[in-house]
Amino acid sequence: MAGHAAIVTRIRFEFDEYALPVEYRRLGGTDLDLSSIVLGCGNFGGIGSAPELFGQGENEAEAFAIMDRAVAAGINVFDTAASYGGGRSESSIGSWRRRHDAPVLLSTKVYWSVTGDPADRGLSRERILRELEGSLARLQADRVDMYLTHEPDPETPIEETLRALDELVAAGKVGAIGVSNVGGAQLDEALDASDRHGLPRFGWVQNEYSLLRRESERDVLPLCAREGLGFTPFSPLCGGWLTGKYSRSQAFPDDSRMALRGEPYSDLVNERTFQGLERFQAAAVERGVEPAELAIAWVLSHPQVASVIVGPRRPDQLDAALRAAEIRLSEQERDELAGLFT
């Protein structure tokens, strides 16, 4: 299925001073309709799955405010993982759900340890079944709509993983299944195993994708297009690099991703990146938008992207993502913006 997934409807919510658009798009070959902006909850109670940062990030009250804002804007998917914040992310969502009767799709992932134990990880059958029960308890839910493998597991045959996920789908505890942080060869192997053994296929891919992280264009995105899979990228702002908050002449802000957990982006600290960012910021000024809006719009405009996952640290940071949903970029404009970093 090439091109954008079908757009089911478009509605507008009065959101503070703005009327902001929310599109709902069908996710690959699943029966799920996702808002074009998905709320990433990786900073609730921690910074992703990093054990040394468990307990940091947004506390429950701050997480509640972000979720309130997201639902008011029409966002209908909360994306998390069992390991985010050592389970605190899922627990915050569960507590919020107990107080709200909102039709939100739950998306969570399995692979990393909830306790931070480096030996407790992977995608074996026993572990997947056990970990889902923990996720359901923290989310205060009977099922999750979307369940993803968080990382490939080279120590477990993909057939074993797929059979475990099939059990959960058959039991009604999981809706659709997806895969995250995967390469093209790994994805091809998984799809082939599903076809050979008559097992459910992964319905979409969740990989990092931004103007500064374009690896998925090599093989994953073409494979998604050929096989009819959805694509829901995360980190469209590349850890804050595309917001304009980082410069060569100033230290990283104390609460920024680079200050808290900058290792995944250390390769960007160079003159070539800063020159590209200056050109990109000028392009945003020329269009009368913020750099963050233009960066998210660039990701959303890829024909294979169903939704983009954003992880705001404050409620007002959602505004840029929602404004980005109104920006339409042509293929030529996408190429021109990408060329600013070459």
Domain ranges of the chain: 14-339
Active site residue 24: no
Average pLDDT, rounded, for the chain: 92
User: What pLDDT score was predicted for residue 258?
Assistant: 67
Backbone angles phi and psi of 180, in degrees to 5: -125, 155
Angle of helix 184-197 relative to helix 158-170, nearest 10 degrees, comes to 60
Class of domain 14-339: alpha beta
Mean per-residue pLDDT, 218-241: 97
Q: Look at 109-113, 149-153, 242-246 and tell me which has the smallest mean pLDDT.
A: 242-246
Residue-wise pLDDT tens digits, 249-266? 677 777 677 676 668 888
User: What pLDDT score was predicted for residue 13?
Assistant: 41
Check: CB of residue 144 under 8 Å from CB of residue 107. yes
Residue-wise pLDDT tens digits, 28-63? 989 999 999 999 999 999 999 999 999 999 999 999
User: What pLDDT score was predicted for residue 101?
Assistant: 87
84, 147, 209, 265: which is the annotated catalytic residue?
84
Q: How sure is the predictor about 232, in pLDDT bands with cuts at 50, 70 and 90?
A: very high
94 or 22: which carries more pLDDT confidence? 94
Residue-wise pLDDT tens digits, 275-326? 999 999 999 999 999 999 999 999 999 999 999 999 999 999 999 999 999 9
User: What pLDDT score was predicted for residue 9?
Assistant: 38
User: What pLDDT score was predicted for residue 21?
Assistant: 58
Q: What is the 3-state secondary structure (H, E, C) of the chain?
A: CCCCCCEEEEEEEEECCEEEEEEEEECCCCCCEEECEEEECCCECCCCCCHHHCCCCECHHHHHHHHHHHHHCCCCEEECCCCHHHHHHHHHHHHHHHHCCCCCEEEEEECCCCCCCCCCCCCCHHHHHHHHHHHHHHHCCCCEEEEEECCCCCCCCHHHHHHHHHHHHHCCCEEEEEEECCCHHHHHHHHHHHHHHCCCCCCEEECECECCECHHHCCHHHHHHHHCCEECCECCCCCCHHHCCCCCCCCCCCCCHHHHHCHHHHHHCCHHHHHHHHHHHHHHHHHCCCHHHHHHHHHHCCCCECCEEECCCCHHHHHHHHHHCCCCCCHHHHHHHHHCCC
